[in-house]
Amino acid sequence: MRFNSFYFYTTGEGLSKRSIGHQGIAQMIELRPFAKLGGADHGWLKAKHHFSFAGHYDPNNMGHGALRVWNDDEIAPNTGFPAHPHANMEIITYVREGAITHQDSLGNEGRTEAGDVQVMSAGSGIRHSEYNLEPTRTQIFQIWIEPTARGGQPTWGSKPFPKADRSGKLVTIASGFGDDKDALPIRADARVLASTLKAGESAEYEPQQSRHLYLVPAAGSVEINGVRVNARDGAAIRDEKRLKITALEDSELVLVDAA
């Protein structure tokens, strides 16, 4: 006889669903509502932090596996982040609205607009700036993933991932795995996926065991294995054999699968 029960409980971050499967293995989806995220309003920058970051220090929420940072940033027109250094981090920028203009100490320059993605492997060290030079606000997810090894030559790259090409399915946009040939490369035991789903559409994902998954809808709302996740909420997922992601309304989402 298959036995599967669900119960819900409240954590410091939000509501979680824990299911106890027929083998007694705990499965969890922990909901982190956008309204409860830490953050800061700098005027030119409105930031929300899914994990401990900068002035929002939370020793109990330092990341989810190799996923270290997920920032939800709104950048005012003609403002941005001046040149600053990074090392030993894979930094993925998913542009949700507007565009971001990048410059770095290697001489790389580029404009990444909504629907596109940029990746910077900080390696042994790099300085970069990120500005919104557009007449309207820019919205981004900035995702940091710890690399599998420290050091190495820094790199930067950008690529379009049209929303139409992700319609109704999950598409890998950045990956540390050689099989994901169309994705931007990162030096991490991780992949980043994105999808656009019409209301009622579903996409499925089967992670390997012992992975750390984190999903955020950029827009709309979805249901993940029975748990509703609204726009800009986070869902920290462990030990789910299969994810069924169903759009409750037209939705756009980003999913990280990390060690």
- The domain of 207 spans 5-258
Burial 168-194 (b: 16+ CB within 10 A, else e): eebbbbbbbeeebeebbbbbbbbbbbb
Sheet containing strand 243-247, edge to edge, reads 202-205, 243-247, 222-224, 227-229
Q: β-strand 171-175 against 190-197: which pairing, if any?
A: antiparallel
Count of alpha carbons within 13 angstroms of residue 59, beta-carbon side: 0
pLDDT of 217: 98
Question: Taking the model in full, what pTM does it have?
Answer: 0.90
Whether 90 contacts 144, CB under 8 Å:
yes
pLDDT attached to residue 110: 98
Low-confidence spans in the chain with pLDDT less than 70: 1-27
CB 110 within 8 A of CB 93: no
> What pLDDT is attached to residue 17?
56
Q: What is the tally of structural domains in the chain? A: 1
Burial of 57 (C-beta count, 10 Å sphere; 0-12/13-18/19+): exposed
Q: Provide the CATH number for the domain around residue 80.
A: 2.60.120.10
**Predicted confidence (pLDDT) per residue in 114-144, tens digit:** 989 999 999 999 999 999 999 999 999 999 9
Question: Residue 169 corresponds to which tokens in the numbers above?
Answer: 């399915």
User: Residue 210's CB: how many other CB atoms inside 10 A?
Assistant: 9
> Which residue has 């027109």 as its token pair?
77
**Separation between Cα atoms, residue 54 and residue 56, nearest integer Å:** 5
